[in-house]
Amino acid sequence: MVRAYTSRICGADIASIRAIPAEIGGGFGGKTIIYLEPVAYLLSKKSGRPVKIVMSREEVFRATGPTSGAVIEVKLGAKKDGHITAVEAVLKYQSGAFPGSPVNQGCMCGLAVYDLPNAVVTGYDVLCHRPKVAAYRAPGAPIASFAIESCVDELARELGIDALAMREINGARDGGKAVHGPTWVNIGYQKTIEAANASEHLKTPLGPNQGRGIASGYWHNAGGESSAACHINEDGTVTVTEGHPDIGGSRASMALMVAEVLGVPYEQVRPVVGDTTSIGFSASTGGSRVTFAGGMAVTQAAEKVVGELKKRAAVIWDISAEAVEWRDGRAYPAGANAGSFEPLSLAEIAGKAARTGGPISAEVQINAQGQGPGFTTHICDVEVDRETGAVKILRYTAIQDVGRAIHPSYVEGQMQGGVAQGVGWALNEEYVYDKDGRLENPGFLDYRVPVASDMPMIDTILVEVPNPRHPFGARGCGEVPIVPPMAAVANAIADATGIRLRDLPMSPPKLRAALDAEQPPRLAAE
Amino acid sequence: MPRVSYTAPTSIDDAVKALAASAGVAKALSGGTDLLVQLKSGRVRPEVIVDTKRIPGLIGIREEGDKFVIGAATPGIMISADERLTRAYPGIVEGVDLIGSTQIQGRCSIAGNLCNASPAADSVPPVIAARATAVVVGPNGRREVPVENIVTGPGQTSLQKGEFVVEFRIPKPLPRQSDAYLRFIPRTEMDIAVVGCAVNVVLDAGGTCTEARVVLGAVAPTQVIVEEAAQALIGHKLDDDTLKRLDSAARAACRPISDKRGTIEYRIKVAGVLARRAAAIAFDRAASRA
């Protein structure tokens, strides 16, 4: 993407551009577009010297684009028993000076957690005098989810039905059809609700000024083009090259999958992120697609290598390749008829590679299909300081169908990171503009992301409904955790105070003003 | 890029000379946690920077009779680690401890926090509430002034050309005297006070307040000593009626601005809340010191 866009803008051959990915950081959508690359390219061409351009934090804030601001109206109809009969939703997303807000994704994802007999959803991409918007983790979905999950919560309270029961009654299930088209197969949404109901968190009592909120979320996840290579080194160690920058721990997942296919210890596999000249084309690193699509590519590359290893063992033993079996990192004769040979380890075969046909490696290019949708349910407890309007997150549990968790602690990290980012969005993060439309807070002092002490330990429950279209059952897991937090926090505040906040962020001044409007404070009343 | 000269004199006289001799802007440096950031952003362009840390007495805490003396460049971490100060004025320690992060605490000083002249400086309200004085030296000698007389507006101080603060002198507390400092920020740390409030009280044996000082931060161009709030406390125990009058007095003293960190309306409300809460803590502490 970086290479293609730069090539297009600069009128340069793709082959003349080499994109070298940087290490972890700046993900979440910020790198799914180019910024200064063409400028550096042209300056370098003019000057004949290497050119490095680094954006300052302030420039990143001012120039790279936030997600959309939005206005959403939702109308829900339901029977007394809780069955939602109809939804009407109008979503208006800001796009800045050019079209291209993620309102389409909002329209699709916002209602996807429900099985709805009737729905009308209209999205508007609204041009405005604001910075152009950019992709931001699950683009468009959290915004729609805040509106819809808040509204479902209000409806549940009105009907006197428990928030999880409401989702049990109306939630998406296998065989159901989403408003935006797909018929669900092998989805784990209801299992996230079961796990929420069974959680220790739900049994914990709440104190005064405390409240509990529930919200669910959906993200499609993506497949697409990926390349990978698997090389067996002369000493039997393995190098895996992928085309995706590691923005969330994907190296480790790639190594685990390859180790599993080859039957060797994880430590024997060294994953490497290639640049655009060292590996075939891989499309954008985004859409929660890397462990799914990249993982499929490395698995297939490793499988090809296993086929080659069997052939090499067959050469050494002078039998047919079909008569060789690969298990636990060794070649075995497939049965008594194949002959009697001592098993050959990966290292032994690698050491003899020069005499059996040369280097052993395989590269695979795929256009991965069959990504599994991601569903999640979050439980959030808050405590409200009624005098300052400050909201403290007391406890948070994220329950997510992650497919098969290839590297469970990295999956947990994705879930916890999504929650922390969503809580920031819910409570304090905002672009503050002055009356002339200039951004007033282009830095992390006043663009208030949560600090570590703002967050409790975020509990995670991994529900594993394997994706049958992936060799190890992986689904994307990195984006859906940012979808429910805003509604989960809003629903918890409503539970604690009876006040429904509909405007983000739900910052202390706004909550205090809402509390005062509800019930003027005794001390301020004199 | 304009040249900046740096000097680290080892005597007060040399420091004063270096500051006074400069034709352009001269800046005294202690920890540098504000100054270096401002240099980098280009907000200040001094001709000379005079590092005060090598001057004897500028770092350290000592007792002189009925006073604590805190050297102007004493880093925050030494103040919060000082058991005498922690016992005597937990509110001052709270204020100092809120400056920046753990790393900043190794460098930041009360003098820097004061002379940076931000209305939101966290260490300043409790120091004023304790009736501390600042010892200022300059070409015309040495003067001792109440700390509240140093800051005259955002970024503005009453220090004259060549002058800098060498130490703070804080009267040792009476037997039933204590203090507290609270600030409100939207997150739990790493932020600038939306409102700050220090309360320093003296109680009699029965728990009635005999002396009080209430100082607000971030609600006006400078820190505000709220005389009416002190009057609301003096002669009273901390009952509902007293708290109510304290809250009103604190709110009435606010002259805040609306900015990216808070609105006028919200700052005023929170000033009342913090005054009550800080008073409750200070009363508790004072009573338990008896």
Convert B206-234 into a string of H (helix), E (strand) and C (coil).
CCCEEEEEEEEECCCCCCEECHHHHHHHC
Q: Which residue of A has its CA nearest to B267?
A: A509
What is the rounded average pLDDT of the residues A285-297?
A: 93
| Residues in A touching B260 (Cβ below 8 Å) | 432, 440-441, 446
Task: Answer yes or no: is A63 within a domain.
Answer: no
Range of the domain at B47: 5-51
Asked whether residue A249 carries a pLDDT value surpassing 90, the answer given is no
In chain B, pLDDT over 70 holds for what percent of residues? 99
A320 and A412 assigned to the same domain: no
What is the rounded average pLDDT of the residues B117-131?
A: 98
Q: Which residues have CB under 8 Å from A8's CB, separation 6+?
A: none
Q: For A183, which DSSP code?
A: B
Q: How many CB atoms are located within 10 Å of the residue B102 CB?
A: 10
Task: Answer yes or no: is A294 within a domain.
Answer: yes
> Two tokens at A457?
């330990």
* Tens of pLDDT, residues A432-489: 999 888 999 999 999 999 999 999 999 999 999 999 999 999 999 999 999 999 999 9
Task: Answer yes or no: is A62 within a domain.
Answer: no
Predicted local distance difference test score (pLDDT) of residue A292: 95
Q: For A502, which DSSP code?
A: -
* Tens of pLDDT, residues A494-513: 999 999 999 999 999 999 99
In chain A, pLDDT over 70 holds for what percent of residues? 98
B282 and B190 assigned to the same domain: yes
Asked whether residue A526 carries a pLDDT value surpassing 60, the answer given is no
B95-103 own/partner pairs: CB under 8 Å, 24+ apart: B95/B122, B95/B123, B95/B124, B95/B125, B95/B126, B95/B127, B95/B181, B95/B196, B95/B198, B96/B122, B96/B123, B98/B122, B98/B123, B98/B181, B98/B183, B98/B193, B99/B33, B99/B123, B100/B33, B100/B76, B100/B190, B101/B189, B101/B190
Q: What are phi and psi of A311, to 5 degrees?
A: -60, -40
Predicted local distance difference test score (pLDDT) of residue A524: 41
What is the rounded average pLDDT of the residues B276-287?
A: 98
Predicted local distance difference test score (pLDDT) of residue B57: 96
Q: CB-hemisphere CA count at 13 Å for A192?
A: 30
* Tens of pLDDT, residues A90-118: 999 999 999 999 999 999 999 999 999 99
- Residue B101 sits in a domain whose CATH number is 3.30.465.10
Range of the domain at A43: 2-54
Output the CA–CA distances (angstroms, integers) from residue A12 to A18, A44, A217, A304, A489, in the order listed: 11, 13, 42, 35, 49
What's the number of domains chain A is made of? 3
Q: Which helix (H) or strand (E) holds A348?
A: helix A346-351
| Residues in A touching B244 (Cβ below 8 Å) | 523, 526
The model's confidence at residue A522, banded by pLDDT at 50, 70 and 90, is: low
A215 and A306 assigned to the same domain: no
Last residue of a domain, one of B171, B198, B222: B171
What is the rounded average pLDDT of the residues A384-403?
A: 98
Last residue of a domain, one of B106, B137, B171: B171
Chain position carrying tokens 């997510």: A400
Q: Which residue has the higher pLDDT, A397 or B289?
A: A397
Last residue of a domain, one of A346, A368, A390: A368
B80 and B10 assigned to the same domain: no
Mean pLDDT of chain A: 95
- Residue A135 sits in a domain whose CATH number is 3.30.365.10
A74 and A217 assigned to the same domain: yes
The model's confidence at residue A523, banded by pLDDT at 50, 70 and 90, is: very low
Q: Which residues pair with B197 in a beta bridge?
A: B182, B216
* Tens of pLDDT, residues A221-232: 999 999 999 999
Q: What is the pTM of this model?
A: 0.95
The model's confidence at residue A525, banded by pLDDT at 50, 70 and 90, is: very low
Predicted local distance difference test score (pLDDT) of residue B290: 61
The model's confidence at residue A26, banded by pLDDT at 50, 70 and 90, is: low
Cβ atoms of residues B181 and B197 within 8 Å = yes
Interchain CB contact of A526 with B (< 8 Å): yes
Asked whether residue B253 carries a pLDDT value surpassing 90, the answer given is yes
What are B's interface residues with A at a Cβ cutoff of 8 A?
Answer: 184, 186-192, 243-244, 247-248, 251, 259-263, 265-266, 269-270, 272-273, 276
* Tens of pLDDT, residues B57-99: 999 999 999 999 999 999 999 999 999 999 999 999 999 999 9
* Min distance B269 CA to chain A CA atoms (Å): 8
Q: Which residue of B has its CA nearest to A450?
A: B187
Q: How many CB atoms are located within 10 Å of the residue B47 CB?
A: 15
Task: Answer yes or no: is A60 within a domain.
Answer: no
The model's confidence at residue A520, banded by pLDDT at 50, 70 and 90, is: low
Among the partner-chain residues A387, A451, A524, the one whose CB lies closest to the CB of B188 is A451
* Tens of pLDDT, residues A56-71: 999 999 999 899 999 9
> Two tokens at A477?
């897991």
The model's confidence at residue A521, banded by pLDDT at 50, 70 and 90, is: low
Could you tell me the sign of the dihedral formed by the alpha carbons of A130, A93, A373, A470, in that order? negative
Predicted local distance difference test score (pLDDT) of residue A32: 83
* Tens of pLDDT, residues B12-45: 999 999 999 998 999 999 999 999 999 998 899 9
- In b/e form, how buried is each residue of A361-397, taking b as 16+ CB within 10 angstroms? bbbbbbebeebbbbbbbbbbbbbbbbbbbbbebbbbb
Choose the mutation target among A59, A61, A387 for the interface with B, i.e. most B CBs under 10 Å. Answer: A387
Task: Answer yes or no: is A179 within a domain.
Answer: no
Asked whether residue A43 carries a pLDDT value surpassing 80, the answer given is yes
| Residues in B touching A453 (Cβ below 8 Å) | 187-189
